[in-house]
Structure 1
Amino acid sequence: MFITHKGKVMKNKRNQKNIIWKILLIVFSIVLIICLIIIGIQKYQQKKQQEYYEALLENAGSQPQATEEVPEPETEEAPDVLKSLGIEIPEKDIDFAALKEENSDVYAWIYVPGTNVDYPVLQHPTDDAYYLEHNMDGSKGLPGCIYSESVNTKDFTDPNTVLYGHNMKNGSMFASLHNFEDQQVFEENPYFYIYTEDKTYVYEIFAAYKYNAIHLIYNFDLTNPEIFQNYLDQIFEIRDMSANIRQDVTVNADNRIVTLSTCVSGEKNMRYLVQGVLLNE
């Protein structure tokens, strides 16, 4: 049987195509394996960090067991304003000295009832974005940490202190702030708490809403009382159906607020903000 020149050419082309497809299949398989390995490492790292935070939380939420009788420790007395409102500060046994041994950038702890937010707060001295992609132990990757930027002082005396955290799919970090989209959760959990070595700050939540992903501190000079008041007025005028605003809470330019900021899934140009006004000045 004779094979024409044209037939040989076609056969060679088919062979070349088969080789190309085999090469592509091998390359695709290698890429797929690499991607699966990377995903696996990321998942392992996230799980490890979650276990680490859970251990911190367990220690912060429990009282040490005494083996002998010891004098009762002095507890922080609630200021008159908190007593008059019937607000009790949740007790936490936070060992800041131990936390700072692990990471000297820790300066506070935040607890938000109605959510999973119960974490240390950090601020890097030189890199504002460091804890966006670094963990408490300094390892790079998710979930990162709850942090503030150096534009804010660490004593919560600024007009607006902004704390950032990832919107993690597993519900960690600031993901569960989105619980406040539910009006019932918003109404039943009116306060959040920030613990420091010297004082516990109590904030009344007055707003939870989606907002443009702008830098709040750089875009609003809230050291100017008029600008601060206009900014607050804009918040109370929000009429978005997904927003929850407490119209009966008085907030003015003489107050200090904290803004908790996280991402909105599928909306990269938006942020979800939960804001509270300091009650115990």
Structure 2
Amino acid sequence: MKKAFLIAIILLLLFSGAFAVYRYRQKIYLPEKRISEAREKQEKLFEQVRPDVDNIPAVKPISPDTEAATAENVTAPATSPVKAVKSVCSDAVGWLYVPDTGLDYPIAQGDDNSFYLSHGLDGEFDPFGLTVLDYRCEGDFSGYNSIIYAHNYENMAMFAPVGLFRDSSYMDSHRQGCIITDRGREDIEFFAYLTVPSDSPVYNTVFITDKERRDYAELLLHTAAYHSDITAEELSQKRLVLLSTCTFEYDKARGVLAGYFLSD
């Protein structure tokens, strides 16, 4: 009787151990393996198509207030600096680069803001996703406000470095970045960091009048945790760029790094 009971206990332990191994493999090991493989695949692809940022000259883009653009405004390089990126992803609109931060990614713009948050440059599943230009914004960054989203992952992946800009001293040492487009390198000056809810009016993309742009600029400066010495009037005459990601100060909190194109 005792022997049968002991055998039953041993079998139960073996079954429990086997089931635990199975659960671990199915729920943790395999998902993490698929995520790791997807990320590695995308990173290799990024390296293959990454533009030579350091050797792309800055250009003067079209101003949103310019009704008749000059030849200087619209002349693009003979070969687009992001041609390789677009050859892989037809929805690619540029490449974001902020030196010494890890922010170095292609930007896509889809029919909504969801698809490329769970798909890679090749359109395949990738939980890390891409950096995504809001579908409501102008794809050539010529509008008053261009909002770019990406996930916040551990190990400073994707837009996690945006959170580092909470510290104004970090902003001081990482003041500039750029977006590479068909026209060349468009340099950005960062001026503010904000923590806002996901439904904040900061995410507005439609501006018709000068007053609407000034009011929006005042909203940014008023909401910012800190900002540089710039006025709402000055900001209303520039094209803005917002980098947005999830943060964890409260439910649905978003961290926003705000900048403007230097060429305006």
TM-score by length of 1: 0.71
Higher relative contact order by CA 8 Å / sep ≥ 6: 1 or 2? Answer: 2
Aligned-partner Cα distance in 1 for 2:123–2:40: 16
Residues 62/187 of structure 1: CA separation in 2 closer, same or farther (3 Å cut): closer
Match of 2:185 among 200, 211, 214: 200
1:245 is matched with which residue: 193, 202, 227?
Answer: 227
Alignment of 1:1-281 (within 5 A): 27-35=19-27, 36-57=29-50, 60-61=52-53, 95-124=81-110, 126-214=111-199, 216=201, 221-238=206-223, 243-248=225-230, 251-265=234-248, 267-281=250-264
Q: Secondary structure at the match of 1:237?
A: helix
Q: Distance in 2 between matches of 1:133 and 1:256?
A: 28
Change (3 A) 1:280 1:168: same
SS of structure 2 residue aligned to 1:186? helix
Q: 1:37 to 1:266 in 2, by over 3 A?
A: farther
Q: Distance in 2 between matches of 1:218 and 1:117?
A: 21
Per-residue deviation, residues 233-267 of structure 1 (Å, max 9, x unmatched): 2332347xxx3311346544333211111111474
Return the alpha-carbon distance in structure 2 between the equivalents of residues 118 and 27 of structure 1. 42
Residue 154 of structure 2 aligns to a residue in which SS? coil
Q: Distance in 2 between matches of 1:76 and 1:189?
A: 18
Q: Provide the rounded CA distance (Å) in 2 between the counterparts of 1:262 and 1:217.
A: 13
Counterpart residue identity of residue 244, structure 1:
Y
Rg bigger for which structure?
Answer: 1
* CA gap 1:77/1:160 in 2 versus in 1, 3 angstroms: closer
* Cα RMSD, aligned residues only: 3.4
TM (normalized to structure 2)?
0.75
1:106 maps to amino acid: A
- Structure 2's unaligned 5+ residue stretches are 62-78
After superposition, give the CA deviation of every residue in 1:129-177 in whole Å (9 maximum; x if it has no partner). Answer: 1100000111112221111132111121222110111112132321112
SS where residue 192 of structure 2 aligns? Answer: strand
Distance 1:267 1:140 in 2: 29
Structure 1, 132-141 or 185-194: larger mean CA deviation: 185-194
How many matched pairs?
243
The answer to whether the Cα contact below 8 Å between 1:159 and 1:255 also exists between their aligned partners in 2 is yes
Q: Per-residue deviation at 1:24?
A: 6.6
**In 2: Cα distance, 1:129 partner to 1:77 partner:** 31
Tell me what 1:82 maps to. Answer: none
2:75 is matched with: none
1:170 match: secondary structure: helix
Q: Identity over the aligned pairs, expressed in percent?
A: 23
Question: Hey, what's the Cα distance between the residues in 1 that align with 2:250 and 2:43?
Answer: 25
Of 154-163 and 213-222, the range deviating more from structure 2: 213-222
Equivalent position SS for 1:119: strand
Q: Tell whether the 8 Å contact from 2:121 to 2:130 is kept in structure 1 after alignment.
A: yes
Q: What secondary structure sits across from 2:158 in the alignment?
A: coil
Q: Residue 115 and residue 130 in structure 1: after superposition, are their counterparts in 2 closer, same or farther (change >3 A)?
A: same
Kept in 2, the 8 Å contact 1:117–1:176? The answer is yes
